[in-house]
Structure 1
Amino acid sequence: MKEVEAAAGLAVWRASRLGADLTADHEPPGLDPLLPLLAELTAEVADLDHVVVAGAGSGGTVLAARAITRTLGRPLTVLDTADPGPVERAIGDRLDRTVVVVAGDSDVAEAVRRAYLSAFLGAGMTEAEATRRFVLVGDMVPAGRSALSAAALVPAALAGVDVAELVEQARELSAALVRGGDNPARALASALSAGHDTVALVSDGTGLIGLTDWVGRLLAESLGVLPVVLEDPGSPVAGDRALTVTVGGSLGAGTVPGGGVWPDVAVNGPLGAQFLVWEHAVSMARGPARAEREPTSSVTRRAAPKTTGTAPMDAGEFTEGSVTGYGTSAGSVVEALGALLLGSRPDGYLSITAYLDPVADADVAKLRPLLAEVAGRPVTFGWGPQPRHPAGTHLQITGAVASDQYQLGDLEAAQAAADRAELARDGRRIVRLDLADRASGIVQLLDAAGALRS
């Protein structure tokens, strides 16, 4: 790493200067009025120590709240999926001590709100007692102005985070972003504006947990680039055109950035400053040339009504063990995955979207590095609706629902069907693998991906 631009404890290392001179077009958000309100709200619900945040939408606010609490070691239950499993587990955990932050007005947020209201009333609470358990935060803010907004800071504050410290970290950096001289945001924006279609993001192991997920969402929705969030520094990216960026906490004197990776860019500093520098850099990197590349965000789209029958793009199918494949002429899981990888070449990518339980079915995420080793092209992975890009092939993984006490399964199925329909309308190749038994089906998928490596 050669060049460094630093301010207020945050530094951006670059292999070389890239792009044109860029200038800032906005000031950091003013948060002073929010802090006393957060303190008052936290005091009002001090007896409720199980904090749940419900919502899924653009701007990544729920991802920001998760990154804040995970990094700072505070407990927060995040429900940003319509899969019934996580909701039922959360409701079964300390219901009498639960406060629910409803972030935005997405279908997921509303479905979780209804489920908790039913559970509160079913537990014998009055309407007034149940109402006290909800904190409603307004619509998600636009992408690029999200991480230090109420939708992210309210759940973090209720979970015990000193949000004033995060705000102060951002404030200390903000002066450097609006004056001449060293400007870490300008350095980062230059790299982001250099024409890379893919950005590989990896945590360097210096204490910022979950930040890469938020950064990936920000880049996808604001710049239209393809983010590949790596599991660890040794995970395969695939493809040689990606901009590799490591992200981490502050480094001591003499420490080499990257955590063992030799990145094109390394961004290190405190969490509050990280949020601000990324949002500021993305704002500077945006321009008219990006407009045609920006993806369709299925995350904020209302799910289609409950569907019946089989969607047209599901024509053609096979069944092998616990897996049924739709939209493919393949006769096995191995053949279906191999055909998708071939279809992603020579200059596309493979996107994997799992409409499953992010906790109970977490092993399905291991597909990404396994297939990336074989693909020779970028492979992405995400849960539920994801921002889409105007290229690539798509693998959707769905699964049978074992328990659906709060009738969330129809919403999840409708989201998946709407996603497939929109991809088909855009001319994208989409294959769905449906798991009759999730546990055994995931084992089949991983075994098939492993077989492709041999």
Structure 2
Amino acid sequence: MIQIRTPELSAVILDEMNALSKRLAAKDESLWGSHASTDAEQRLGWLDLPTSSRTLLPAIDSLAAWARSRNLENVILSGMGGSSLAPEVICAFEHKRIEILDSTDPHQVARVLSMDLSRSVIVIASKSGTTLETLVHRAVLESKLRELGLDPAGHFVIITDPESPLAEYADRVGYRVLHSDPHVGGRFSALGASGLLPSALAGVDVSELLDDAQGAAHSFLLADSPAVKLAAALAQHAQRFPFAEIASPHGLGDWIEQLLAESTGKEGKGLLPIVVPALGSARPEVLSIALNGESGDIEIAATLGEHFLLWEWATALLCAHMRVNAFDQPNVAETKERANAILNSQQLARNGSMDGKIEVVGDQRSAAQAITEFLSQVHGYIGVMAFLDREKESRAKILRTLLERSSGAPTTFGWGPRFLHSTGQIHKGGPLIGSFLQLTTERDEDVVIPESQFTFHQLQLAQAAGDELALKSRNLNFLHLHLHEGGLDQLVETLINLPRATS
């Protein structure tokens, strides 16, 4: 049973959320406004997943048995956003191993290619079947398997919508396929095929998730349910400030971050989630959400299956309150289109100055001077966008804390290109009050994308450049630092030596 504590809630907003909740339970597609009704009509299947996903269990069990029979003990999952975040969280909660490939960083790609692929099941998850990152992952993994004398059909499993380009390809080459529900959007699919199958292949009993979610679903039909209280607390805070800080175990905050940011962050509105290892000092502009036993403005104790459905309901209700379309992501494609144009034009040259191991792109100042000027222009929040190797360069996450300490501003951190499918939407579609620090780097090892004239590093840099253009087109405060060997250490030292914010 979900336990939730919130700040005192106004009767007006509670009444509104209770009314919206009844309409959500009835699948009223007009809940988010007439402009969203077409999308909503096709995207409310997630409400049924605690029950409808049980029909997937025999196929999931069969695929897990097939993998065991072939001694495919390593699970590699290629997916972006909602196609990988949920299974990553599920496996972390259950202490099961899964290798997530959600990057175009050549070091991360090379590390996966160096695994024992003969004993690996490779899951390619893309609802649309057109996700750029998963397409190039599929191509390079197919090439490597053939190089090793292995048949890709003996290792690949595809998760995608029926009749998608990826489904058609899988059928043509003989890959195993589990279809996702076409009436469920990617970020609302934690309890669907993309959340359950990779987790089951890794050894998780996913039926328990559905049991817990089904119990939660029944409770959400009651007045003043946990979903209503959570949505009301989020909406009450968002009426004044767009920031919420989340401390959670096992990466659950990363999943919530994508759900909230990509759903709410449009039309100049949105609630920006800030994932933190532990809640900081109380600030009135930042709503603190504790899912890990800490004290916060909102405190929630729930099982993982309950959390998934709770946050999906609360997000849908919050979007209805904001009158934004919960199910689209209009600005995600923008960066992709700009990146493709940059790749095709081969315009990846940088102009800047070297300061030790840091290249200050588009600027002739030292790194310290450029950062000081950047911080002086902050008037909302800071977003750190690290197009780096999130395993080998994981220490980069300390930059979030250091920048928040120096600026006094709420600060988020995202790994590129993963964040483009998450907070990237609210960066460009939400309140235009962000200041953005983009980090790219040199790579001494690169990986060629099969049947392409590009490499993974070129693609990674083009994705960063496309996002830079999209943010600069909105006249947002932006600083691009290109790190050479030792540059990350220099950057950390530079930030440590900056004075703390005085307010």
Q: TM-score range by the shorter chain?
A: 0.7 to 0.9
What does residue 189 of structure 1 align with? 231
Inter-partner Cα distance in structure 2 for 1:40 and 1:85: 34
What does residue 97 of structure 2 align with? 75
Q: Which range moves more in the overlay, 24-33 or 267-276?
A: 24-33
Pick one of 318, 334, 340 that aligns with 2:353. 318
Inter-partner Cα distance in structure 2 for 1:64 and 1:176: 22
* Bigger share in helix: 2
Deviation at 1:179, TM superposition (A): 2.7
Is residue 222–residue 282 contact of structure 1 (8 Å, CA) maintained in 2?
yes
Secondary structure (helix, strand or coil) at the match of 1:162 reads coil
What does residue 308 of structure 1 align with? 346
What does residue 146 of structure 1 align with? 189
Inter-partner Cα distance in structure 2 for 1:370 and 1:118: 42
Cα RMSD after superposing both structures? 2.2
For 1:200, give the aligned amino acid: E
What does residue 371 of structure 1 align with? 403
What does residue 106 of structure 1 align with? 131
Inter-partner Cα distance in structure 2 for 1:246 and 1:301: 34
CA shift in 2, pair 1:90/1:299, >3 Å: farther
Pick one of 458, 467, 475 that aligns with 1:427. 475
Deviation at 1:289, TM superposition (A): 3.3
Question: Are residue 136 (structure 1) and residue 158 (structure 2) matched?
Answer: yes
Deviation at 1:334, TM superposition (A): 1.6
What does residue 86 of structure 1 align with? 108
After superposition, where does 1:391-430 map in structure 2 within 5 Å?
Answer: 391-406=433-448, 407-430=455-478
CA shift in 2, pair 1:396/1:236, >3 Å: farther
Inter-partner Cα distance in structure 2 for 1:265 and 1:288: 19
Moved >6 Å (runs of 4+)? 292-295
Question: Are residue 360 (structure 1) and residue 352 (structure 2) matched?
Answer: no
Inter-partner Cα distance in structure 2 for 1:351 and 1:299: 18
Pick one of 318, 328, 334 that aligns with 1:285. 318
Deviation at 1:240, TM superposition (A): 3.4
**CA shift digits 1:220-272 (9 cap, x unpaired):** 01122111111223x468x6311111114xxxxxxxxx42x3x1111111000
What does residue 217 of structure 1 align with? 258
Deviation at 1:365, TM superposition (A): 1.2
CA shift in 2, pair 1:285/1:143, >3 Å: farther
Deviation at 1:217, TM superposition (A): 1.0
Is residue 83–residue 186 contact of structure 2 (8 Å, CA) maintained in 1?
no
Pick one of 311, 333, 337 that aligns with 2:367. 333
Inter-partner Cα distance in structure 2 for 1:298 and 1:375: 31
Percentage of identical aligned residues: 30
For 1:12, give the aligned amino acid: I
Is residue 236–residue 373 contact of structure 1 (8 Å, CA) maintained in 2?
no
Deviation at 1:333, TM superposition (A): 1.6
Inter-partner Cα distance in structure 2 for 1:61 and 1:236: 34
CA shift in 2, pair 1:144/1:54, >3 Å: closer
Deviation at 1:287, TM superposition (A): 2.3
Question: Are residue 97 (structure 1) and residue 133 (structure 2) matched?
Answer: no
Secondary structure (helix, strand or coil) at the match of 1:101 reads strand
Is residue 348–residue 461 contact of structure 2 (8 Å, CA) maintained in 1?
no
CA shift in 2, pair 1:217/1:156, >3 Å: same
Inter-partner Cα distance in structure 2 for 1:310 and 1:32: 48
Pick one of 374, 377, 385 that aligns with 1:343. 377
Question: Are residue 179 (structure 1) and residue 222 (structure 2) matched?
Answer: yes
Deviation at 1:300, TM superposition (A): 8.4
What does residue 243 of structure 2 align with? 198
Question: Are residue 240 (structure 1) and residue 261 (structure 2) matched?
Answer: no
What does residue 142 of structure 2 align with? 117
TM-score by length of 1: 0.86
Inter-partner Cα distance in structure 1 for 2:87 and 2:185: 16
For 1:297, give the aligned amino acid: V
**CA shift digits 1:286-327 (9 cap, x unpaired):** 12634399883369845424153467xx76x32111110124
What does residue 38 of structure 2 align with? none
Is residue 198–residue 226 contact of structure 1 (8 Å, CA) maintained in 2?
yes
Q: Which range moves more in the overlay, 91-100 or 286-295?
A: 286-295
Is residue 75–residue 201 contact of structure 2 (8 Å, CA) maintained in 1?
yes
CA shift in 2, pair 1:236/1:214, >3 Å: farther
What does residue 255 of structure 1 align with? none
What does residue 448 of structure 1 align with? 494
Deviation at 1:429, TM superposition (A): 2.4
What does residue 297 of structure 2 align with? 264
Is residue 187–residue 258 contact of structure 2 (8 Å, CA) maintained in 1?
no
Inter-partner Cα distance in structure 1 for 2:3 and 2:385: 33
Is residue 109–residue 447 contact of structure 2 (8 Å, CA) maintained in 1?
no
Inter-partner Cα distance in structure 2 for 1:236 and 1:405: 44
Deviation at 1:193, TM superposition (A): 1.0
Q: Aligned residue pairs: how many?
A: 415
For 2:461, give the aligned amino acid: A
For 1:365, give the aligned amino acid: K
